[in-house]
Structure 1
Amino acid sequence: MSGELSPIDTAKFVAAKRAVQYVEDGMRVGLGTGSTAAWMVRCLGERVRSEGLKITGVPTSTRTAELARQVGIEVTTLDEAKWLDLTIDGTDEYDPDLCLIKGGGGAHLQEKIVATASDRMVVIADPTKGVDMLGAFPLPIEVIPFGLQATKGLVEELLAAMDVLDSKAVLREKGGVPFVTDEGNHIVDLHLKRIQDPRKLSMVLNQVPGVVENGLFIDICDAVVIGHGDGRVEVIDINEGTHEEERIEFADSANIFADI
């Protein structure tokens, strides 16, 4: 299978394959959204089919829910599950403290709700997602449609007083029209280049009327699984203070796309 994948896809695949090893029979698992999380959902579906693993998944978007059902994962809502054992998701950036920027896929509101309703959050990533300081990736904020321009203006005014390198706020579009989230809101991407104090920025952004949630995940992620194009994975556990490396063997694995 490795010959069919690019190095970046191999990295995502081995990270996903390692991350789903955290899942145990009977668990309630939050399922992230995005291209890397999709690998995880497929790998988890492979375990369900091959091992008879019994789990319940709580998706963070409609597209993740559709994929989970396709690969045989039982799906429920967070309200039905009430609390989760584990959430596995991707990230757009992570720093040495495992603070994250998420929301490139437009689902950070549901992703943050699900992650904070979990005993543990494990993030899967490729090496390009690691940064010394957050901010190179645009920070998404979800905003309600009513008074959108006023909200955007307040955010820009706020950013002028923050320790960031840039303060450009851009309404996200798809197909020439404003992007709409699963909750019926819009997203404004903040091009900041550098965020000196993510914790402070997260707090003040959520005080702006009209801002529903921002894409900074602070003190939420417990571990990051980093995949490499040669099949290696690194596991950084912030609680245990460990940084381990191993190799994932998958040449004889079943094709995880066979039933999709």
Structure 2
Amino acid sequence: MDAVNAGKKAAAIRVVDELVKTDQVLGIGSGSTIVFAVEHIAERVKSEGLKLTCVPTSFQARQLILEHGLTLGDLENFPKLDLAIDGADEVDSELNCIKGGGGCLAQEKVVASCAKKFAVIADDRKDSSHLGQNWHKGIPIEVLPFAYVPVMQKIKTTYGGVPALRMAQSKAGPVVTDNGNFLLDWKFDAEKKWDWNLINTELNLIPGVVDTGLFIHMAFKAYFGTSQGSVSTRTPASNGFH
């Protein structure tokens, strides 16, 4: 296992061992880090007989849940979750996150908002003092397909930077989300001090925007794994590691 995956796995195992308990309804995030979390959840279900219901944030998460023999749920039947676990593209000192590099940000945000607790797991490359320090691909923004040009123009005029339509790698044309929408990636000035709570609100008020990849004051704890397999945690109150 390479160093990055070692960090992801260490963080995933720590959060599952620390926070997952029987009779919970869990929100299961998307992305490479979550694969390790689901694997360990399945191991604990088998060895300890845990009774869990898992609500996915994407088609990928749904397939992971089913492949590992876990009980699949949805927000229609379980609108209140005990815990949501997800990765992040970047986490700042206040646990504000950029998410959506994998394109599932809208569903991830809805599921996280339904949980009593939202925990972020990542390798230590994702740990930053401020957003934009280590993540340079911009803030993902899900938009209605017919509105992507005016939304891009509005963002560029209002905030500067470079908003771009995310293009697919293995197919012609743009990336299409599980919701049938397009994704913009807004590369902002990382040297500028931004009020991310305000920016998130303003972006969401632009007609045509479905949601942003800014997860503001949502996480209660972040777990960062290192290549050596150690894990550090941070809460918004501490703004430091323990």
Whether 2:215 is the aligned partner of 1:182: answer no
> 8 Å contact 1:36–1:90 — kept in the other structure?
yes
Aligned twin of 1:169: 163
What is the CA-CA distance between 1:148 and the residue it aligns to? Answer: 2.1
Equivalence for 1:233? 231
Report the counterpart of residue 116 of structure 1 in structure 2. 113
1:46, 1:71 within 8 Å by CA — same for their partners in 2? no
**1:154 equivalent in alignment to 2:144:** no
Q: Shift of residue 61 of structure 1?
A: 0.1
Q: What's the CA shift for 1:239?
A: 4.9
Q: 1:240/1:75 Cα in 2 relative to 1: closer, same or farther (>3 Å)?
A: farther
Equivalent position amino acid for 1:204 in 2: E
Read off the aligned partner of 2:140 and give its amino acid letter.
Answer: P
Q: Which residue of 2 aligns with 1:46?
A: 43
Superposed displacement of residue 243, structure 1: 3.2
Q: Which runs of 5 or more structure 1 residues have no equivalent in the other structure?
A: 161-166, 245-260
**Alpha carbons 1:16, 1:40 under 8 Å: kept:** yes
**Deviation of 1:82 (Å):** 1.5
Distance in 1 (CA, whole Å) between partners of 2:90 and 2:189 is 12
CA drift at 1:50: 2.0
Q: What is the alpha-carbon distance in structure 1 between the residues aligned to residue 240 and residue 127 of structure 2?
A: 16
Q: Secondary structure at the match of 2:180?
A: coil
Separation in 2, partners of 1:23, 1:224: 15
Aligned to 1:206: 204
Other structure's SS at 1:158 match: helix
Any idea what SS the aligned residue of 2:108 has? helix
Q: Which runs of 5+ in 2 are unaligned?
A: none
- Give the CA RMSD over aligned residues: 1.4
**Cα deviation 1:55-98 (Å, max 9, x = unaligned):** 00000001110011111111111121010000000000001100
Distance 2:231 2:94 in 1: 19
The alignment-based identity, stated in percent, is 36
Match for residue 7 of structure 2 among 8, 11, 14:
11
Q: How many residues align?
A: 234
Aligned to 1:253: none
Q: How far apart, in 1, do the equivalents of 2:97 and 2:178 lie?
A: 21
User: Residue 98 of structure 1 aligns with which residue?
Assistant: 95
Deviates more, 1:85-94 or 1:30-39: 30-39
| Equivalent of residue 80 in structure 2, options 55, 79, 83 | 83
Task: Give 1:186 deviation, angstroms.
Answer: 0.5
TM-score by length of 1: 0.86
SS class of match (1:125): strand
Which residue of structure 2 lines up, in the alignment, with residue 222 of structure 1? 220
Q: Which residue of 1 aligns with 2:141?
A: 141
Instruction: Tell me how far apart the structure 2 counterparts of residues 188 and 151 of structure 1 sit (CA, whole Å).
Output: 9
CA distance in 2, matches of 1:172, 1:17: 32
SS at match of 2:77: helix
1:14-55 residue CA offsets vs partner (Å, 9 max, x unmatched): 100001121100000000001112211111111112221110
Which stretch shifts more, 194-203 or 30-39?
Answer: 194-203
- Post-superposition offset of 1:241: 6.9
Residue 256 of structure 1 corresponds to which residue in structure 2? none
